[in-house]
Chains A and B, each alone.
Chain A
Amino acid sequence: MITKRQLGFFVVAVSVVGILGIVSVDILGAGNWSGFGPLQRMGIGLGLGAALVGFVLIRLGDRPA
C-alpha cells in the first residue's frame, strides 16, 4: 500500500524532472519559439502546482493514498 507521503515524494520528483525537462528544451534548442514559449510557461506553471500538491501530500504522512 502506498502512503500519502510516498505519493507526495513521487509527485514532487515527477514535477522537478518535468520542470527541468521543460527548461532544458531551450538549452537543446528545440521548440518553435525563441526564449520561453507559451507551452513552456504552462508546463512550468503546472509543474509548480503539482510540486505544491506533492509537498502537501508529504505532510499528510502515512495515511493510505
Chain B
Amino acid sequence: MPITLNRALKSIATALAILTILAYVGYLVIYVSYAVDLFRWPFDYDQGEGFELYDAILFSQGEWPYRDSAAFPFYASNYPPLFHLLIVPLLPIFGPRLIAGRLLSFAATLVTSGTIAFVVRRNIAGPERDWMGAWFIPLISGLGYLASNYVYQIGPLCRMHMTLVMFETLAIAFVAEFEDPDHGTRNLILALAMLFCAGYTKQTAVFTVAAALSYVFLRDVKRALLAGTALALAAGALFWLINVGTQGEWWVNIIQANVNEFDYRQTLFLFGQWLRLHTLFVLLGAGYLVYELFWDRLSAYSLWFFFALGVGALSGKWGAGFGYFTTAVAAACLTSGLALGKLRSGDWMSKMEDWGPGFKRGSVRIFVSAIIPVLYLLQAPRMLHLPTSGPVFGPMSRILSVDDQLAYGKGENLAPTHCDSVSYHDAMGYTQLGHPLSPEDHVAGEKIMDYVRATEGPIFSEEAMFSILADKPVVTNPTQLLNLYNNGLLDTSEIIHHIDQQTFDLVIFRAQFYPPPVLEAIGQNYQPVDHVCMNGFTYHLLWPRRRLDSALLSPE
C-alpha cells in the first residue's frame, strides 16, 4: 500500500476517532446535565427512591427496615442493606434528602465506567502503547457504559442498581487477576469482598458470584472450592444474624416476597430492546465469548458477560425491568473493548501478508484503526437520548429531527397513563425515566406538599418523599405490600381497619400499586379532592369522607 494512502488512512482514522470521542463525550454531558437536574429535585422521580432513602434513615436511627408489614406503619424493605448503609454517612451532610443516594449512585456509575476503561487498557494496550489501544478503545468502552440508555436513566437515581454493578465490575476486575504471581491471593480476597458487597446490595449479584467462582474453578479447582466455601460461610453467617435480629422478617421480605409472577414475553421484549440499543457492544461481547470458548481460554470477563444474561432472563418478573440488564451492559462494554483489542493485535494480520505484497501488517492495522471508530459511530445513534428543550439540547434535537418524538408522546398521541408530555427523546421509545424536570413540576410538587403540611397525623402516600419532607413517618411500601399479598404473606386486617377508621388525613396515589383489598377500602372511605400533574404523572389526592362530610355540613 503506498505511503500516501497510509497517511490518508491515518488522517481519516484520526478524524473519525475525534468524531467518536465528541459523540460519546456528548452523551456524558447529557448524563451529567440529567444528574444535576435530579440532584435539585426533592421528590421521588422513580417511585422506589424515597423508600430506599427511608431505609437509610431507619439504619441511621439504629432500626431495621425488615419489619412486619401487617402492623403499623405497614412498611418493610425488600432489598439488602449495603446501599442504604452507604447512604448513612451522607445523611449528616445532606440531611434526609434524596441527593445523598443520588450522588452515591452517580459516583458508582463513574467508578464502573473508569474500571471498564482501566481493565480494557490493561488488557489491550500493547508494548508500543499506540493511541488506539492505550486510550481510545478503553475510553470509548468506559464512556459507552455511561452512554447506555439504561445506565443514563437509572444512574443518578437513589436506587441500588448502579452500586451493585460497581461492586460486580470491581469483583470481576480483581478475580481476573487472581493468578497474578505477586498479588494473586490479595486479588482473590478483594474479589470475594466485592462479591460479598454486591450480594448485600442486591440479590441478583448471585449471577456475578457464579461467573467469578466459575472462572476460578476453570483454572484452579481447589482455590475455587476454598473461595466459594469462604464466601458462602461469610454471607450465610451474616444472613443468619440479620434474620435472627429481625425475627425472621429478613427472610420473608428479601426472599419469600421476591417470588413474583413471571412473564416471559417481558423478558423477550427486554432482550430484544437491549440488543437493539447496544448492538455493537453485545455482538462484539458475544463474539469474544465464542472466540474464547472455542479458540482460546475463557476469561473472567467473557464468563461475566455470559452469566449476566442470566440476570436479564429474570427481567420478566413482576417489578423487574430494564434495570436487570445494567450488569449485562457493563459486561458488554468491557468485553467489546477486549474484542476490538484482539481484532487489532490478532495473528490474522500477519497471515494477510501472505496474500500479496499489498498487504502489510502496518497497513492492515491502520485500516482496522479506521474501521473501529466507524463501528463506534454507527453504535452511537442507536442509543440516542437527549432532552428536546433548552438552549443547547433544543436546537440539537431539531437538527437530529427528534424534537417531536417524545418519550410520552404528545397531543393526541400522549400515552394514556400520562397527563402531560415531557421534553425528552429516547431511542427506547416510551420510558418513564430520563426526562428533565420543568419549573411546573417543582410548582406541582409544592402544591402537593401544601396538602401534606396541612395534615396533622401520618399520611398514606404511595411515595415516601412527601412524608419525609414533612417530617412525618413513612406509612406503607406499596410494591412490597403487593409482593407480600401476592405470595399470601400479608394479613391486611390492621391496615384496612386503619383505613376504615379514616386514620390518615390524606391519601396520595400515583400508580395504585397496593393490594386490591387495600385499594377497595380506600375507595370506600376516601374521596378525591384534587388531581395534580407532576413529572408527567397524575397524583390523586384523597381526603377522608368524614372530613368532606363535615365540610359539607359546616356553615362555612
Q: Is the A/B pair a real complex?
A: yes
The interface of chain A, by Cβ under 8 A from chain B, is: 1-2, 7, 38-39, 42, 53, 56-57, 60, 64-65
* Alpha-carbon distance between A65 and B264 when the two chains are bound, in angstroms: 32
Are the CB atoms of A39 and B264 closer together than 8 Å? yes
Q: Does B297 contact A (CB under 8 A)?
A: yes
Q: Does B131 contact A (CB under 8 A)?
A: no
Are the CB atoms of B218 and A1 closer together than 8 Å? yes
Are the CB atoms of B218 and A2 closer together than 8 Å? yes
Q: Does B355 contact A (CB under 8 A)?
A: no
Residue of A nearest to B262 (CB): A39
Given contacts A1-B220, A7-B218, 5 further A-B contacts (CB under 8 A): A1-B218, A2-B218, A53-B293, A56-B294, A64-B297
Are the CB atoms of A2 and B264 closer together than 8 Å? no
The interface of chain B, by Cβ under 8 A from chain A, is: 217-221, 264, 293-294, 297-298
Are the CB atoms of A57 and B293 closer together than 8 Å? yes
Residue of B nearest to A3 (CB): B218
Are the CB atoms of A42 and B294 closer together than 8 Å? no
Q: Give min CB distance, B301 to chain A, whole Å.
A: 15
Interface of chain A, main secondary structure: helix
13 contacts between A and B (CB under 8 A): A1-B218, A1-B220, A2-B217, A2-B218, A2-B221, A7-B218, A38-B264, A39-B264, A42-B264, A57-B293, A57-B294, A60-B294, A65-B298
Best-buried of B221, B293, B298 by chain A (most CB within 10 Å): B293
Interface of chain B, main secondary structure: helix
8 closest A-B pairs (Cβ-Cβ)? A2-B218, A65-B218, A39-B264, A64-B297, A1-B219, A65-B298, A38-B264, A65-B297
Residues of chain B within 8 A of A39, CB atoms compared: 264
* Alpha-carbon distance between A64 and B297 when the two chains are bound, in angstroms: 6
* Alpha-carbon distance between A7 and B215 when the two chains are bound, in angstroms: 12
Residue of B nearest to A64 (CB): B297
Residues of chain B within 8 A of A53, CB atoms compared: 293
Residues of chain A within 8 A of B219, CB atoms compared: 1-2, 64
Q: Give min CB distance, B494 to chain A, whole Å.
A: 34
Residue of B nearest to A11 (CB): B293
Residue of A nearest to B316 (CB): A39
* Alpha-carbon distance between A1 and B218 when the two chains are bound, in angstroms: 6
Residues of chain A within 8 A of B298, CB atoms compared: 65
Q: Give min CB distance, A2 to chain B, whole Å.
A: 5
Q: Give min CB distance, B287 to chain A, whole Å.
A: 15
Q: Give min CB distance, B215 to chain A, whole Å.
A: 10
Residues of chain B within 8 A of A7, CB atoms compared: 218
Residues of chain B within 8 A of A42, CB atoms compared: 264
* Alpha-carbon distance between A28 and B556 when the two chains are bound, in angstroms: 68
Residues of chain A within 8 A of B293, CB atoms compared: 53, 57
* Alpha-carbon distance between A2 and B293 when the two chains are bound, in angstroms: 13
Residue of B nearest to A46 (CB): B313
* Alpha-carbon distance between A42 and B268 when the two chains are bound, in angstroms: 11
Residue of B nearest to A7 (CB): B218
* Alpha-carbon distance between A18 and B264 when the two chains are bound, in angstroms: 18
* Alpha-carbon distance between A38 and B221 when the two chains are bound, in angstroms: 38
Q: Give min CB distance, A52 to chain B, whole Å.
A: 12
Residue of A nearest to B219 (CB): A1
Q: Give min CB distance, B273 to chain A, whole Å.
A: 18
Residues of chain B within 8 A of A38, CB atoms compared: 264
Residues of chain A within 8 A of B218, CB atoms compared: 1-2, 7, 64-65
